[in-house]
Copies of this chain bind each other. A is one copy, B any other.
Amino acid sequence: MQLSPVELRHASRLVNHGPTVLVSTEHQGRRNLMAAAWSMPVEFTPPRIAVVVDKKTYTHELLRASGRFAIGLPVPALAELTHAVGSESGRDVDKFARHAIAWTPGPVLGLPLVAGCSAWLELRHIAEPHTEQAYDTVFGEVVSAQADARVFAAGRWSFRDDNTELHTLHHLGGGVFAVPSRIVRAV
């Protein structure tokens, strides 16, 4: 997997189509990874993203304490891992160790980026205590973006028959994911 830099003005396109994401956090040597089906861009420039992170979770605690988080785009081969880390808490166990997850440090914030994803974003947390409390909705501003150039180039996903192993996952519930492999053009 070779991740190439993505211009920040294109970063929101990475989650424009509603993929399930992996959220990684790190604070003073403690780290965690969770899956989130619920995220969306809210702005292109500056690139800002909203993601639903339950305020009771360990991820939320690390995210608030460190002021940063990362988002990864899992591919079909990571479906089991995505489901697993979305179904357990990292408060008492290091999920990276438990699942033997390979990772590399993010280029700007040093956050743990799971190997094998098709794209990665690092974000600075924009604290909005009311929205986080009332709706579990967390905002972040993207400060680095990378994607596999075989499936995302010039600011756009290119889902084709020859790169299906790099397509995104979209959680339907209960560990069943849809993969958006068919293309419909309106223009």
Chain A contact-residue range equals: 35 or more
Binds B, one of A25-33, A91-99, A177-185: A177-185
Residues of B within 8 A of A177 (CB): 183-186
Using an 8 Å CB-CB cutoff, how does the interface string of A66-81 with B read, 1 for contact, 0 for none?
Answer: 0000000000100110
A34 at the interface (CB under 8 A from B): no
Partner of A178, one of B13, B159, B172: B159
Docked pose: A82 CA to B183 CA in angstroms: 15
B137 touches A50 (CB 8 A): yes
A103 at the interface (CB under 8 A from B): no
With A43-B135, A164-B182 given, name 15 new contacts (CB 8 A): A13-B173, A17-B170, A17-B171, A18-B19, A18-B170, A40-B50, A79-B185, A156-B172, A170-B180, A172-B183, A175-B185, A176-B185, A176-B187, A177-B184, A179-B182
